Structures are given as C-alpha cells and as structure tokens.
Structure 1
Amino acid sequence: MRFPRVGETIQIQSYKHDGTLHRVWEQTRILKADSNVIIGANDQTIVTESDGRRWRTKEPAITYFSTTEWFNIICMIRQDGVYYYCNLGSPATFDEEALKYIDYDLDVKVFPNRSYKLLDEDEYSLHKRRMNYPEKLDNILKTHVQELILWIKEERGPFNLAFVENWYHFYKSM
C-alpha cells in the first residue's frame, strides 16, 4: 500500500459493509503517514453524504486513522475544548484516489471532560442484520469498542491533549 506524503491534500471516503459509498470529506492535509497511522488535519472542509447532501465542517480537526485498529478518531478543536468523534470501522487503506475505510455505524463521542457516550447501537444492529455482518466481524468490533474506551481512559494517542496541540500547531505552520 502506498501512503500519502506529508503536506499532500487527500480525500477521505467511508463506505458501508455492502460497498456503497457513505460519506466523503473533500480535503484533508496529511501531517504524518506511515505503515501504522495516517494523521491529517482539515478545517471547514466540504463533506458529501451518500444522498448527495453537502455540508461544511465548522471547526479545525485533527484526524487519526490506523492501518491496524478498527476505529478512527476525529479531534474537533472548539472554543470550549477538544471533542472527539470516533468511528468504529475497518483499518484505513490508501490508494491514488483517497484514504478509505468501512464505517460500521457504532460511534463514540468524547467530551472535553473525558466523559464519553456510545452512539448508534440501533443502527449497528439494523445494518448487522441487513448486511449480514459475520460473527467474527461482530466480535472484532466489540473488542475494538473496548480498546477505544481504554485509550480514552488512559488518554492514549489522540486522547492526550498534547497530541492534538502538537499536530494542530504543525498544521498551522504548513
């Protein structure tokens, strides 16, 4: 797999398990990319939903995509602190077109005080039945929800404020 270059602007595409396009973020600047992680940043980027609806993000964000973990993390930098939106999804891949992953519906929202909330369990159950998620996949995702919660509690990686501050400073200096 080729990795994007630091400074390159890429698109991010999420898909559903059945291969349908779910959502596209038009522009994310690459801050780091290696065989384990792709870190990017964007600010007021256009997002296109599968139904064609378009909207623009409201704040700067640092994006964290792993090539091994079954989740990705969006660190949204707001006036009152850093909020996190974590998508349970396949490990990220990159090709000439975009960074890509499969979105598996479950999300975790993390607030500046480190409290968190698991979201979209009903949507996950519905899609699990409709798209016939294999039991092995269901077990992987449940394991990675717990891994993600451990990262939150231990302030690991993106959940450490220094991580967000350092990468945001680097992004602004580009």
Structure 2
Amino acid sequence: MTAPSAGSDIQIKSYKHDGHLHRVWESTIVLKGTEQVIIGANDKTLVVESDGRTWITREPAICYFHAKHWFNVIGMLRNDGIHYYCNISSPFVFEENSIKYIDYDLDLKVYPDMTYDLLDEDEYQIHRDKMNYPGVLDRILYNNIADLQRWVQQRKGPFSPGFVDQWYERFLTYRF
C-alpha cells in the first residue's frame, strides 16, 4: 500500500459491508501520511451520501486513521471544546487518492469532558442480520470498541491532550 504525501488533497470514502458506497468526503488535506497512519484535516467540506444528498461539514475536523485498528477518529473543533466522533470500521486502505474503509454503523461519541456514548447498536444489528456478518466480525468490532474506550480513558492517540490542536495548527499552514 502506498501512502499519501503531506499537503495532498484526498477523498475519504466509506462503504458498507456489502460493498456499496456509503458516504464520500470530497476534500481532506493530508497532514501525515504513512502506510500505518493517516492524519488529515478538513473544514466546510462537501459530503455526498449514497442517495445523492449532500451537506457541508460545519467545523474544522482532524481525522485519524490507522491501518491496524478497526476504528477511525474524527476530532471536531467546536466552541465548547473538542468533540470526537469515532466510527467502528475496518482498517483503512489508501488507493486511487482515497482513504477507504467499511463503516460498521457503531459509533463512539466522545464529549469534551471525555465521557462517551456508544451509538447506533440498533442499526448495527439490522445490518448485521441483513448482510450476514460472520460471528468473528462481531467479536472483532466489540473488542475494538473496548480498545477505543481504553484509548479515551487513557487519553491515548488522538485523545491525548493537544493532539487535535497541534494538527489543526499544521492544517492552518496549508490553508493560508
């Protein structure tokens, strides 16, 4: 797998387990790109849903993807602090100038005080049954949720103090 270079503009594409395209973020600036980790940033970027609907993100976001973890983390800079939206997903691949991953519906929403909620378990159950997820996948995903919760509690990786702010400062050097 090749890695994108810092400063390049890429897309983020999420898919569903059955292979259909779920959502595309049209423009993300790469801040760090290796075969293992990609850190990117976007602000007011166009998002296209699978049904053709579009919307624009409201605030700057720092995106963290790891090739060995079954989740990705989006840190959104809001007036009341950093909010994190963590997608439980396959590890990413980078190809065709895009970060690609399978979104497994489950999400961990982390608030500025580092409390969190697990979201969309009902949606996950529906898709698990509809798309016949293998039992081993269920175990992998829930193990990764536990890992992600530990990261939040230990302030590890993208949850460490200053992580989002540091990468946002780097993003600003590319924008102006």
TM-score for the superposition, normalised by structure 2: 0.97
TM-superposed deviation, 1:160? 1.4
Partner residue, 1:62: 62
5+ long unaligned stretches in structure 1: none
The answer to which of 71-80 and 153-162 deviates more is 153-162
Tell me the alpha carbon deviations over residues 65-96 of structure 1, each in whole angstroms, 9 at most, x when there is no partner: 11010000000001110000000000000112
**Contact 2:4–2:97 (8 Å) recurs in 1:** no
Aligned residues: 174
5+ long unaligned stretches in structure 2: none
Superposed structure 1 runs of 4+ greater than 2 Å apart: none
The amino acid that maps onto 1:96 is: E
Tell me the alpha carbon deviations over residues 27-71 of structure 1, each in whole angstroms, 9 at most, x when there is no partner: 000000112110000000000111111000000000001101000
Tell me the alpha carbon deviations over residues 114-146 of structure 1, each in whole angstroms, 9 at most, x when there is no partner: 110000000000100000000111110010000
Quick one: distance in 1 between partners of 2:137 and 2:3?
Answer: 26
TM-score for the superposition, normalised by structure 1: 0.98
The CA RMSD measured in Å over matched residues stands at: 0.7
Quick one: distance in 1 between partners of 2:35 and 2:19?
Answer: 24
TM-superposed deviation, 1:161? 2.9
Quick one: distance in 1 between partners of 2:165 and 2:104?
Answer: 29
The answer to which of 82-91 and 96-105 deviates more is 96-105
Quick one: distance in 1 between partners of 2:140 and 2:115?
Answer: 24
Partner residue, 2:30: 30
Partner residue, 2:132: 132
SS in 2 for 1:136: helix
Quick one: distance in 2 between partners of 1:9 and 1:121?
Answer: 33
**Contact 2:87–2:105 (8 Å) recurs in 1:** yes
Listed as ranges, the matches of 1:1-174 within 5 Å are: 1-174=1-174
TM-superposed deviation, 1:8? 0.2
Q: Percent identity?
A: 55
